[in-house]
Structure formats: C-alpha cells, structure tokens
Structure 1
Amino acid sequence: MKQVNADNWNALKRTKRKTRWMISKSFNCSEREIPEVLNRLYWEEQKSIKDIATATDVSHTTVASLMKRLNIPTRYSKRCLFKWTEEELVNQLCYMYIEKNMKPVEIAIRLNVSPSTIYKWFGKYNIRLRKKLLVEDERNTLLCEMYLEKEWDVSQIANELNVSAKTIYNWLRKLEIPLRSRRNGKYPGSKEDLLQTIYFLYWKKGLGLKQTAQELNVSILQVYRWMEQLNIPRRRSGRPTKQKSISL
C-alpha cells in the first residue's frame, strides 16, 4: 500500500472549505489530519467510500475525488484495473486471507472479482490454501483403505469419491501404489460362491448383465469375464417371439 503524504496541504486546499470542515468535525480531527484519517478508515478499518461519505454527510463522489487528490490508493475494482502493483496485490491478499482469516469468496466480494480469480491469484503468488494438506491426507488414507484393504475396483472408488476413474489412477500413481491388473478382478469369496451368485442372479432371478453388475458392484465387462472363466452360458439376445393366437 502506498504511503500517504499527510502534509499535502496544497492538494487538500483544492477541496471546498465546507467539505474539509464537515470531515474534520465528523472525525474530531484537524484539517491537516484528514489524509491520515481517511487512509486509516479506508485501509486499516476496511471502511468503504460510501461508509465514509455517510459518516461525514457528504457525497461518495466527493470523498472519492478527495482521496484521489491525496494519492490514497483505492481497493481493486474493475474500473481501476491494474491500479495496484503486484506487490500491493499480494500484500492485500495475504492481509485479508491470513491475518483477517477471510474466505476466498469474501475476498472476491471485497475486491469485486470472481472467486475463480482469487484462486488463480493464490496459485500464481504461491499463497497456500488453508486445510488443503489435511484434505489430501484424508483422501489418501481413504484411497489406500478402499483400494488395498477392501480391494475395491477403481470404478467403485470413483463413484464413492465422485471423481472420474482417470483421476483415481493418477492419485494411485502419485502415491506409488502398485495397480492391480484389470483382467484379474477379485470377488470377496471363493469361485464356487461367485458361480452360485452369478447363476442365481442371471438365470434364476432373470437379471440382465447390467443389473447383475450393479448387484455385484463391478463393471459389465467384469461380469462378462467372470462368466467366460466360470463357463456360465448366456441367454440369447433379442426379444422373445410372440405366439400368434389362433381364433376358433
């Protein structure tokens, strides 16, 4: 943030005497202390120009023009794009996010930009998000538990975590977890149990391959492979033929 010259009396004299008197009276300060007071209200106390104008009973355009004459920088807005330097922008982001403990959405509202812009700035200036490491640790623990201990399929884990299967594979490679062969799908039980289960669902209960796969929480392709390995015959595809009724 730029330093304000409190002795800039020549710039202050260009403001109407009545305006200077109203501001000094509202904040109980001398006219020469107006730049310091405006800077403190706007930056340290995070007051808006409208709030300052309401407290002094003057228009917000008058306060804005006075701050411009006194070289008091305004907060980021679309009208004054690139008015801040990168150093000033980083200082304000760190001040609001770290010291004031504000959320990215609240910072976006304050700076009149979108939340995605705030996240881009955080990545650009290496401002680490809060609780990001904690979320990653919890996710990695859950991933190891489901893939290694429970031996879930990648598609099951993807559905559980609401991400794509490609993302699951990337996470597993990042953690250096050895991948299981896709052809060696594992069923929690013996081959006889698997044979009885698929035979019951497919033949006795009359479910289709998709419904059988949903019951077993695997993919349709995995059910195909199991049926080929266990020599379970498949039903003929197509609709059953309708018998013509014979009128007597």
Structure 2
Amino acid sequence: MTLNALVDDLARSLGFLSRLPVSSRFFAGHSGEMSRTPRAFPLAGAVIAAPVGLALALLLNLGASSLIAAFVAVALQVILSGALHEDGLADTADGFGGASRERALEIMKDSRIGAYGVLALVLGVGLRVAALAALANRLAPLDVALAVIGIAAVSRALMVWHWHALPPARPGGVAASLGKPTDTALYTALFFGLAVAVITITPFASFHPLAVTLFISATAAFGFNQLTRRRLGGQTGDTIGATQQICEIVALVTLSMAV
C-alpha cells in the first residue's frame, strides 16, 4: 500500500461520500470501479466529521446549550455528506416495509419517501442529537469533537463490512456496478476505523467505554447484515448507507451511556 495510492483512494472516497470539493485529477482515467477505494472510507469519515466536531466544540465554548450545539452539528454533517446516508436509511426503512423482496426493491428504487422513511429519519436524527447533547453534558467540548470524529470513522468502516459481506441484491444496481470491496480493502478499512477510534476516544475514556461502543456497533452491523440478507437477499446502495446511519446512532448512544 503506497501513500500516493492511499491519498488517491481518500480523495475518491471524499468525492463519493461527501459534498467536499475534490480535484478532478483524482478521477482522471479512473473507471469508477470501487474494489480498493473503500479502504479509505473511515479516513474520509474522519475528514468529513472534523469540521462538524470543530463547530460543535466552538458552539459549546461560546456558551451554546448542548442541545443547540448538537442540532447544529448534525445539520452540518447532513450538509457535508449531502444526506447520502440519511437517504439510504429512509429508502431502506420504506423498502423493508414491503410485502415481498421484489416489492421491497421496487420501493427502494422509488425516489419518493413514505411513512417508514420519515419515521426512520426523525428517530435517527433525534437519537443522534440526544446522544451528542448527552456527551456534551458529560465531556469537555474538545473531547466531544474527538468522539464525533472517531464514531464517523467506525461507522464507515462497518458500512464497508456490510458491502463486502453481502452479494448485490440487484445485479444491475449501482452497488453492483461499482464492484465489491476486496478482502484487503475490508481489513484495511476495519483497521483504520479502529485506529481512528482509539486515537480519538481513548484520550478521554478508558478502554472499557471504547470496547463496549465498538462491540455494540459491530453487533448492530452484524444484525443488520443478517436482516438485509433475509429480507433482500443482498445489499444495495441504500442498505450500505443505512448501515452507516445505524452504526453511528448505536455508537453515539452507547458511548453517551458508557462514559
């Protein structure tokens, strides 16, 4: 793994996962195939979350209430990611409400949002805001910012696991056209996610809260993998995004209870 190749993958990951500006030179001559690129997803998650954590810490230091600061942080995160993962969560929730696999996939392909999707978004945003506010009430502003970065990396590592663990539900879908992360890309992504979490969370928390957070997050990802396999027979772009949201929500709530 060369540094230049990793930088290329990080830039392409940022272009894929966010609205952050990325130079076109990183995409020149690239086929769009994504078997190696996802190894940098956790690093991209950390980059995306860095300004979110900075804004959260700044607002708290300026005297904003924990609830207001948390709402602004989540709003900024949605803006920077282009609501990519939230869209996946909403579509997946709507699809899982379908009566059959075929109907579920049809619903998920529809750009319209239904009651299940709306409820998933409301509950997801509400839990993220509540967990961030709880962390802000217990930790120093800088520590909360670091937690946001660490959890962003972990949740994106686990979405690579979901992508790798399941076959495409639609052979002609977007996820299938991008290819499947290689074993090496998966292991590298998991390593980066763990490394960022250790670096950002252990300065203010002992090993126990971090271990519990990682275990519960991985358990949530595994459970969602199994549910998706049973419900759809494989992953889609929407379920990959939903994995990130589920794991981020679970990690934030768990850490807020563990520290």
Q: What TM-score, normalized to structure 1?
A: 0.21
Bigger helix fraction? 2
Which protein shows a greater Rg? Answer: 1
